[in-house]
């Protein structure tokens, strides 16, 4: 019996291999443009060889001009596509539109320079090495070499991060552990990672500016992803309702500050509580060695704890939040202003964990022939659609009480509602190495 994800992976891998061997799809504008630029790069390489041999490059110059006309047509379509994407990006906030505009401007500038150089090429092929080098440089700016694809959905860039151990010093004392407890304007200010935007303020208002409701909303509604450093910020974490420890800390900080509660980031090394089983539940990986490999691939500094010859726990670097909250009466529910104190909070290490299903295997009767059947004819369906149809046909005939969903692994976040802020953390704090009003540049992607 073959697990469903293995079969999908096999089908998808074969499809990608076949597609890579042929030309780019004519109806895909970006792939087509990249193909034209690659043709130009080949012509430039031939022209450079001719110049080194003291020969003219008449044929190569003609190819460059001919391909250039196709590039010019694709460029006009690309400008229109970027305009449409600008409208979409404007709906996602200031950061999205700013990044889009920067990319669009850089592309347009490089492409216009490239086309202008093509127009200046002499018809007799007497091109200079400097012009050819400039054309190559502009192609690199317009269509840089592709990085290898990521199989999966985790938002790390590649799978070969070096293993790094979490820092254990220099140790600092945050406000909630007796450090500087004086609230400053920076503790309530809007920042790049935690802006007090319209969306943030509206959510804080809907949660009655109540720290308990804010904490429990983030904890129970934002899914934890695993990668190192802040990648989304508060607004995008809210929009996607997912993020790692730093991004959830950014959202929690923004909501707390929008509600008038001074808040800071805390950085340190933590150990899962009560043991490795908590890490297994949160990551969905049962093998401790594979959990370590997972953290390495996600770029998260980690250290395995060895006891009795096996991995008994794991330490990782982590980011959480501390806020100045009235806590004496009703543990942060804010019925009065009595007993303000700095309190540490974390929403990414889910206290109640996840409940996971046990998916069925793909029927062997389907897996034995499906790859050959799929590749044996021209298909209009993706591998996943084809597999889903075949599995559906099999289940209808042989197991009518089962559905496609029964073959898919799933998890359900267990809701954790206490109506108070916890007095302690849901992990063991090994060392605290940073306290910030804004996350440092080294933690930003």
**Residue 60: pLDDT band with limits 50, 70, 90:** confident
Q: Which CATH number fits domain 175-356+412-443: 3.10.620, 3.30.40, 1.10.3470, 3.90.550?
A: 3.10.620
pLDDT of residue 440: 94
- Beta strands 310-326 and 427-436 are unpaired
Question: Which of 1-5, 361-365, 413-417 is predicted least confidently?
Answer: 1-5
C-alpha torsion angle, residues 90, 93, 98, 101 (rounded to 10): -20
Task: State mean pLDDT over 158-175.
Answer: 86
Cα 410 versus chain centre, distance? 20
Task: State mean pLDDT over 133-137.
Answer: 90
How buried is 305 (Cβ within 10 angstroms: 0-12 exposed, 13-18 middle, 19+ buried)? middle
Token look-up 């061997």 returns: 21
Nearest to 314 by CA among 283, 344, 353: 283
DSSP conformation letters of 76-90? HHHHHHHHHHHHHHG
How far apart CA 234 and CA 144 sit, in angstroms, is 30
Per the prediction, the chain carries an average pLDDT of: 87
pLDDT of residue 331: 56
Task: State mean pLDDT over 97-106.
Answer: 90
- pLDDT tens for 3-50 read 555 555 555 554 444 444 433 333 578 888 989 999 999 989 988 888
Question: Which of 103-107, 317-321, 363-367 is predicted least confidently?
Answer: 363-367
pLDDT of residue 334: 57
Using the predicted structure, report yes or no on whether residue 104 has a pLDDT greater than 50: yes
How far apart CA 424 and CA 428 sit, in angstroms, is 10
What SS3 state is found at 63? helix
Domain ranges of the chain: 22-142, 175-356+412-443, 364-408
**Residue 418: pLDDT band with limits 50, 70, 90:** confident
């Amino acid at each position: 019996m073959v697990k469903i994800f293995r079969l999908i992976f096999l089908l998808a891998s074969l499809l990608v291999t076949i597609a890579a061997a042929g030309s780019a799809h004519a109806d895909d504008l970006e792939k087509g443009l990249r193909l034209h630029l690659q043709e130009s790069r080949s012509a430039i390489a031939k022209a450079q060889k001719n110049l080194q041999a003291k020969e003219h490059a008449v044929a190569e110059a003609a190819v460059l001009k001919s391909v250039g006309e196709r590039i010019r047509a694709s460029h006009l379509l690309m400008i229109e596509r970027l305009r449409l994407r600008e409208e979409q990006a404007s709906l996602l906030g200031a950061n999205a539109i700013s990044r889009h505009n920067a990319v669009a401007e850089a592309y347009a500038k490089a492409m216009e320079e490239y086309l202008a150089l093509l127009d200046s090429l002499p018809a007799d092929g007497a091109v200079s090495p400097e012009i050819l080098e400039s054309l190559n440089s502009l192609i690199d700016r317009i269509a840089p070499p592709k990085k290898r694809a990521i199989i999966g959905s985790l938002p790390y860039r590649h799978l070969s991060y070096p293993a790094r151990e979490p820092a254990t010093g220099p140790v600092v004392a945050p406000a909630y552990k007796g450090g500087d407890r004086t609230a400053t304007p920076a503790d309530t200010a809007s920042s790049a990672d935690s802006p007090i935007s319209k969306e943030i303020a509206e959510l804080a208002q809907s949660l009655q500016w109540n720290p308990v409701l804010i904490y429990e909303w983030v904890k129970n509604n934002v899914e934890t992803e695993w990668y190192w450093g802040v990648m989304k910020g508060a607004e995008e974490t809210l929009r996607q309702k997912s993020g790692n420890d730093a991004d959830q800390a950014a959202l929690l900080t923004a909501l707390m500050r929008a509600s008038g509660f001074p808040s800071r980031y805390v950085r340190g090394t933590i150990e899962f509580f009560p043991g490795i089983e908590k890490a297994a539940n949160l990551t969905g990986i049962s093998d401790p060695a594979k959990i370590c490999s997972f953290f390495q691939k996600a770029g998260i500094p980690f250290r395995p704890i060895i006891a009795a010859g096996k991995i008994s726990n794991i330490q990782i670097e982590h980011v959480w939040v501390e806020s100045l909250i009235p806590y004496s009466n009703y543990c942060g529910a804010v019925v009065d202003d009595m007993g303000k104190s700095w309190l540490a909070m974390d929403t990414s290490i889910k206290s109640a964990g996840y409940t996971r299903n046990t998916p069925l295997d793909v029927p062997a009767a389907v897996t034995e022939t499906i790859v050959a059947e799929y590749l044996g004819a021209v298909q209009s369906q993706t591998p996943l659609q084809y597999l889903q149809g075949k599995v559906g046909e099999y289940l209808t005939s042989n197991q009518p009480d089962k559905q496609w969903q029964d073959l898919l692994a799933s998890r359900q976040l267990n809701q954790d509602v206490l109506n108070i802020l916890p007095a302690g953390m849901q992990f063991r704090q090994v060392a605290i190495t940073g306290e910030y009003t804004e996350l440092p540049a080294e933690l930003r992607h």
